[in-house]
Structure 1
Amino acid sequence: MAGKLSEVVAVDAVRTAFGRAGEKGIFWNTRAEDLCIPLLHALMERNPPAKPEMVEDILWGVTNQMKEQGGTIGRMISMLAGWGWNVPGCSIDRMCASGLTALGFACSNIASGMVDCLVAGGVEHMGHLPMGFMRDPHPRAEEAMGDASAFNMGQTAENIHDRWPEFTKEMADAYAVECQAKAHKAIEAGKMKSMIIPVETVDAEGNKVVIDQDQAPRPSTTMEGLASLKTPFRENGRVTPGNASGLNDGASAVLLMEADKAWDMGLHPVMRYVSSAVAALDPRVMGIAPVPATQKALKKAGLTMDDIDIIEINEAFAVQALYCLNRLGVEWNDPRVNPWGGALAFGHPLAASGPRLAAFMAAQFRENPKARYGLCTMCVGRGQGYSIIWENIAQK
Structure 2
Amino acid sequence: MSSPFSDVVVVDAVRTAFGRAGEKGIFWNTRAEDLCIPLLKALVDRNSGFSPEMVEDSIWGVTNQVKEQGGTIGRLIPILADWGWDVPGCSIDRMCASGLTAVGFGSSHIACGMADCLLAGGVEHMGHLPMGFMRDPHPDAEQMLGGPSAFNMGVTAENIHDRFPEFTRQMADEYAWRCQCKTAEAVAAAKMDHMIVPIEVQLEDGTKTVADKDQHPRPETTLEGLSRLKTPFREQGGRVTAGNSSGLNDGAAVVLLMSRAMAEKQGFVPKMRWVATGVAGVDPTIMGTAPVPATQKALEKAGLTMDDMDIIEINEAFAVQALYCLDRLGVAADDPRVNKWGGAIAYGHPLAASGPRLVAFMKGLFAENPDFRYGLTTMCVGRGQGYSIIWENLSRASS
- Quick one: distance in 2 between partners of 1:73 and 1:4? 29
SS at match of 2:254: strand
**1:25 Cα deviation after fit:** 0.3
**1:205 Cα deviation after fit:** 1.9
- Quick one: distance in 2 between partners of 1:271 and 1:394? 7
Which residue in 2 is equivalent to 1:338? 339
Which residue in 1 is equivalent to 2:62? 62
| 2:14 matches 1:17 | no
Which residue in 2 is equivalent to 1:83? 83
TM-score (norm 1): 0.99
SS at match of 2:395: coil
| 2:214 matches 1:203 | no
Which residue in 2 is equivalent to 1:267? 268
**1:394 Cα deviation after fit:** 2.4
- Quick one: distance in 2 between partners of 1:44 and 1:381? 34
| 2:294 matches 1:293 | yes
- Quick one: distance in 1 between partners of 2:209 and 2:222? 31
**1:291 Cα deviation after fit:** 0.1
- Quick one: distance in 2 between partners of 1:50 and 1:374? 26
Which residue in 1 is equivalent to 2:37? 37
- Quick one: distance in 2 between partners of 1:153 and 1:313? 17
5+ long unaligned stretches in structure 2: none
- Quick one: distance in 2 between partners of 1:185 and 1:194? 16
- Quick one: distance in 2 between partners of 1:285 and 1:246? 19
- Quick one: distance in 1 between partners of 2:378 and 2:247? 18
- Quick one: distance in 2 between partners of 1:19 and 1:221? 18
Which residue in 2 is equivalent to 1:240? 241
Runs of 4+ displaced beyond 2 Å: none
**1:4 Cα deviation after fit:** 4.2
**1:223 Cα deviation after fit:** 1.2
- Quick one: distance in 1 between partners of 2:376 and 2:37? 27
Which residue in 1 is equivalent to 2:74? 74
Percent identity over the alignment is 72
Which residue in 2 is equivalent to 1:94? 94
Which residue in 1 is equivalent to 2:128? 128
TM-score (norm 2): 0.98
- Quick one: distance in 2 between partners of 1:211 and 1:57? 28
Which residue in 2 is equivalent to 1:353? 354
Which residue in 2 is equivalent to 1:250? 251
- Quick one: distance in 2 between partners of 1:85 and 1:394? 35
Trace 1:127-146 onto structure 2 (pairs within 5 A): 127-146=127-146
- Quick one: distance in 2 between partners of 1:203 and 1:312? 32
**CA deviation vs aligned residue, 1:38-90 (integer Å, no higher than 9, x gap):** 11111111111111011000000000000000000000010000000010000
Q: Which amino acid aligns with 1:301?
A: A
Which residue in 2 is equivalent to 1:371? 372
- Quick one: distance in 2 between partners of 1:342 and 1:370? 23
Q: Which amino acid aligns with 2:169?
A: K
